[in-house]
Amino acid sequence: MQLVFPYTDRLMNMESQNMNHLTHDLGRCMSRIGRPFIVGHRGASAKYPENTMLSIEQAIADGAEAIEFDIRLTLDNEVVIMHDTLLDRTTTGHGLISGKNYFGDIEYLTTKKEPYCPISRFQDVLDLLSKEENSHIWAVIDVKIQNSPKILLALSEIFKSRNKDFTASSKQFSLGIWHPKFIPYAKTYLPGIPIVYIGISLDIAREFFSNVDGYNIKYIALFGDKEQKFIKEAHAKGKPVFAWTVNEESHARNCHNWGVDAIMTDRTKLYVDFFRNQRHEERSLSIERKKYLIIEQTYFYFRYFAQYKPLPGPFPLPFVGNRLQYKGNPATWASSLREKYGDFCEIYMGNERHLWLSRADLVEKIFSPSLNSNYLIKITPREGLDEIDVTTKGFTFNRNLKSWMFNRRFFNQAISSSKFMKQNVIITQNLFKEMDDYWRDLRIQTENTSGKEFTLNLSEWMTRFVMDVIFVITTNKRAYTFANYFNQLSGTRTSQHSEIDMTESENLVNNIHSWLCALQFYMDTPTLWRKFIPRFKERAESLKGEVDRLNHTFMELISQRRKEIEMTPNDDQLSPDMLTMLLTVNTPRDITVNLADDQHTRPLTDEEIRGNIMEAIVAGVDTTANTFCFIVYHLGRYPDVRELMLQEFNSVFGDDLDRSIEHEDLNKLVYCDAIIKEVSRMMSIVPVIFRMSIKDDMIQRHCFPAETQINVNVPAIHMNPAHWKNPEKFDPSRFLNQGVSGGNRIAKNSLLIFGGGPRMCPGKNLAMTELKTLMVLLYRKYDVELVDMDEPVKYHYSVIKHCDNLMIRIKEKILK
């Protein structure tokens, strides 16, 4: 398949004097080769020791168009090709490279890995690329973040010793920069050499690197529809996007489909061949398949006109139904459907019928509390979900009710035990302290520290913070997500955690993100599309690879913890995290209290545990973090409400701003509780709740068969004046004095923050505990304001409502 890069035409038409060589030459070459450039990451490092001449030469011999390597500066000012700050991992030497001379010391070392190679210098690479036969090879120099910017001066001297100006070098080299502080030095010392941002954060790329010539982004950070918009944005500006480090076939294929311009890989030969072979593959629908599709559609319209009396709704088109009208925002779609077709209407996703319910009285049956309810399953049978093995495991997609009930019982009791909740409050406080230290460091680094004020993007911090909290309470392991973020913002690896731990966790967290993409894709994409349309088929394969990898990682985590438990002496206490509880329940080391009953006497299998842990993380993090951001936004907009909340904190904690929070304190925070509910009502973080009819049924005299998909339009119910007085008004007091005579009454099924019936959110109490603890921690310590009081809150949807770029200003209160 000949793929023309989306931005190539534009590049070709641009005046060449307005472009640097990187964008210009890349544009030309790519339209010619019709696939991403292959860049040898540290050379052909899967075959030969990384960052050596042997490895770089091999990458070129394999047919790579470019090479990538890292540079470090020695004590005697030589630029050597090395990744780490230390010699220890890859060479026979020890200690910091910056503390050793090249001459007389590093020059005598070799690689640890065979065949033993000398340590290369930048000079050597320059010699190689200056050869006539290599004049087409292009290179990315990774200027590692821990280097002093003076390495760029040393680099400049080496270039100058070959050519007086940088014209020749700028055609072959580009500088990979991690931190914006290097940019002015690069522009001064190496004028004309293109600069590429290297990193893992698209937000940082957008905010601090808008003036560079290209982007080299970690593969996983480009995963997801929103993330891939970044590639389009960059292309619209004529800037290429590369991805690192691509060592899986499915990843390479994804990069190709996303329009990534170059992939950095350790396995150069494999990918040069891979793309060569791929282009020869034929992809066309066979005649049999086409026939099958026609018969299927005829049957669909027969049923549509003859069998059911359709509800109001748009007419479904062949094959796609009303799918094309869906623009990725469930709440807006639900609201426009309701406006046009009323509170009870229908649409078709492909050939599948979906009923939409937008009023509390319509959902009465759906949220019946009975365990014999007709609505205990959430999603209609979808082969895609079977393929990724979630329909008999975990919760949300589990169609096996026996297995779901078994899991749910243990999950519920594990996370609602008081031991677990207490631990959660302690962990949140400890991690908040660490995050607060990072904020202090960043505040000190910023120039304006007057009045101890500090501005931060709360939405970025909170998704990472809550990920860490939920990770620790479920697995007793850190995710280091906000420490990683701090390192990126500060430009140095200054958080106290080890680089290996942090990289491993970062990969895991990214993998969870891919798993979520996979769930959505396999749930929404019809089987026929996944099987027969090449673009969907490839995406399906690649996402399946991500799911398998994540399952494997969690299985390893579980077996590791099982061993740790076995090694722990019987008298020693085990940590009350969820993984340990689920591993020990119904075993002699059971640390849960009355968790099991007569019907639930066996231990959980590793696969069951995996499902429970993964869903706790996936379902708990974004929901809680985004709810917290929306709370902070509302408290910024409504100072009266904030004042009442602070008075409540004062009545519970006194004026001791430092006293630690006990789990019991949180029950006393009734106004705080009301704020959370009111914000959640107005924002409807989870805008659609799904159910499937197990048997034929009827709502308001409209009959529908078994296995009909039902979607509940939550914002419509949360904002319906029939259920709520002045629904547009932010008024937490509507949740006070419930159950008191003459007090407020909440209409049945009108508040669906956590869903309803037996499939209601099992993390409800944990979420409320977490949110209250965070509110106390932030508002007791700081005066918090919105940076822009007039700006409406920004958000986007992907399954749930995500708060975007919430900029707040915090000022430390004076301790009494």
The stretch near ligand HEM (CB under 6 A) out of 8-16, 92-100, 242-250, 616-624 is: 616-624
Q: Please identify which residue in 166, 375, 649, 754 interacts with ligand HEM, judged by CB under 6 A.
A: 754
The correct pick among 320, 746, 760, 784 for binding ligand HEM (CB under 6 A) is 760
Span of 33-41, 65-73, 457-465, 757-765 interacting with ligand HEM by CB under 6 A: 757-765
Please tell me the chain's helix, strand, coil percentages from 3-state DSSP, rounded to the nearest 5. 50, 15, 35
Out of 147, 505, 627, 684, which residue is the one contacting ligand HEM (CB under 6 A)? 627
C-alpha to C-alpha distance for 220 and 509, rounded to whole angstroms: 10
Q: What is the DSSP letter of 604?
A: P
- Residues numbered 491-520 forming contacts with ligand HEM, rule: CB under 6 A: none
**Closest distance of CB 800 from ligand HEM, Å:** 8
Q: Which of 686, 751, 803, 810 binds ligand HEM (CB under 6 A)?
A: 686
67-81 burial: b if 16+ Cβ within 10 Å, else e: bbbbbbbbeeebbbb
Q: How far apart are CA 83 and CA 103, in angstroms?
A: 19
Q: In this chain, which stretch among 251-259, 451-459, 649-657, 748-756 interacts with ligand HEM, using CB under 6 A?
A: 748-756
- Restricting to residues 408-427, which ones interact with ligand HEM according to CB under 6 A? 408
Q: How large is the greatest C-alpha to C-alpha distance in the chain, in angstroms?
A: 91
Judged by CB under 6 A, the residue of 109, 661, 767, 778 near ligand HEM is 767
Binding residue for ligand HEM, selected from 199, 214, 576, 620, defined by CB under 6 A: 620
The pairing of beta strand 352-357 with beta strand 344-349: antiparallel
Kindly state the smallest distance separating residue 797's Cβ from ligand HEM, in Å: 14
Query: Per CB under 6 A, does 766 bind ligand HEM?
Result: yes
Angle ∠(593,599,600) on CA atoms, nearest 5: 45
Tell the smallest beta-carbon distance from residue 812 to ligand HEM (Å): 27
756 binds ligand HEM (CB under 6 A): yes
User: 547-565 as b/e, with b when 16 or more CB fall inside 10 Å?
Assistant: bebbbebbeebbeebbeeb
Selected from 762, 773, 779, 810, the binder of ligand HEM by CB under 6 A is 762
CB of 413 to ligand HEM, least distance (A): 13
Q: Residue 622 CB, nearest distance to ligand HEM (Å)? A: 9
Shortest CB 623 distance to ligand HEM, Å:
3
Q: Is 22 helix (H, G, I), strand (E, B) or coil?
A: helix
689 in contact with ligand HEM (CB under 6 A):
yes
For the chain, the C-alpha Rg in angstroms (whole number) is: 29
Task: Confirm or reject binding of residue 623 to ligand HEM (CB under 6 A).
Answer: yes
Between residue 382 and residue 401, which ones bind ligand HEM under the rule CB under 6 A? Answer: 395-396
For ligand HEM, give the closer residue by CB, 378 or 772: 378
**What mask, x for binding ligand HEM by CB under 6 A, covers residues 295 to 334?**
----------------------------------------
Q: Is 118 helix (H, G, I), strand (E, B) or coil?
A: strand
Residue 516: CB minimum distance to ligand HEM, A: 13
Angle at 609 between CA 603 and CA 611, to 5 degrees: 140
The smaller minimum CB distance to ligand HEM, of residues 26 and 767, is found at: 767
Q: What's the Cα-to-Cα distance from 78 to each of 103, 165, 465, 530, rounded to whole Å?
A: 9, 21, 41, 53
Contacts of 399 (CB under 8 A, 6+ apart): 377, 379, 381, 391, 392
Q: Is 208 among the residues that bind ligand HEM (CB under 6 A)?
A: no
CB contact at 8 A, 29 and 65: yes
761 assigned to a ligand binding site: yes
Q: Which of 154, 160, 157, 174 is nearest to 24 (CA)?
A: 174
Q: What is the 3-state secondary structure (H, E, C) of 295-312?
A: HHHHHHHHHHHHHCCCCC
| Binding of residue 611 to ligand HEM (CB under 6 A) | no
Helix (H, G, I), strand (E, B) or coil at 672: helix
Q: Give residues in contact with ligand HEM (CB under 6 A).
A: 378, 395-396, 408, 470, 615-616, 619-620, 623-624, 627, 685-686, 689, 753-756, 759-763, 766-767
* Binding site members for heme: 761
Annotated binding site: 761
